[in-house]
């Protein structure tokens, strides 16, 4: 009866056991997932009535993306093209073009 008892490792133990390849893939995938998440978030914000804090949260979470779009014409073109796929043709609760992507230092 050669039963091995395995010690349960928590989430920290699981993460410490990951390879460099895993962390490389995760580091490359996170920025892509961040940019890809702005479209569905914009869809929800423009189609579903939201409280004021939801729009503020959207502005806060995607402020770095707005800054990147202001400073990179290539990124601006890609994000604009992608975001237009999620904006309904009409009627809008608000015009997403009018959302100022300003710094959070109000």
pLDDT tens for the chain, residues 1 to 106 = 566 666 677 777 777 777 888 888 888 999 899 989 998 998 888 888 888 888 888 889 999 998 998 999 998 899 888 988 888 665 555 555 555 555 444 4
Distance CA 26, CA 44 (A): 26
Query: Is 83 among the domain residues?
Result: yes
pTM of the model: 0.63
Domain that holds residue 87: 40-106
**Would you call 72 helix, strand, or coil by DSSP?**
coil
Residue 25 CB-half CA count within 13 A: 5
Q: Number of folded domains in the chain?
A: 1
83 closest CA partner among 50, 36, 47: 36
Query: Is 61 among the domain residues?
Result: yes
Query: Is 82 among the domain residues?
Result: yes
Query: Is 62 among the domain residues?
Result: yes
């Amino acid at each position: 009866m050669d039963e091995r008892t395995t010690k349960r490792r928590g989430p920290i133990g699981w993460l410490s056991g990951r390879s460099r390849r895993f962390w490389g893939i995760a580091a490359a995938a996170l920025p892509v997932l961040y940019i890809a998440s702005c479209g569905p978030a914009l869809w929800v914000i423009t189609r579903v009535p939201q409280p004021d804090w939801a729009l503020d949260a959207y502005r806060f979470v995607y402020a770095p993306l707005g800054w990147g779009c202001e400073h990179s014409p290539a990124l601006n073109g890609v994000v604009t093209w992608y975001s237009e796929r999620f904006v309904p043709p009409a009627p809008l609760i608000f015009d997403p073009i009018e959302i100022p992507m300003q710094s959070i230092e109000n």
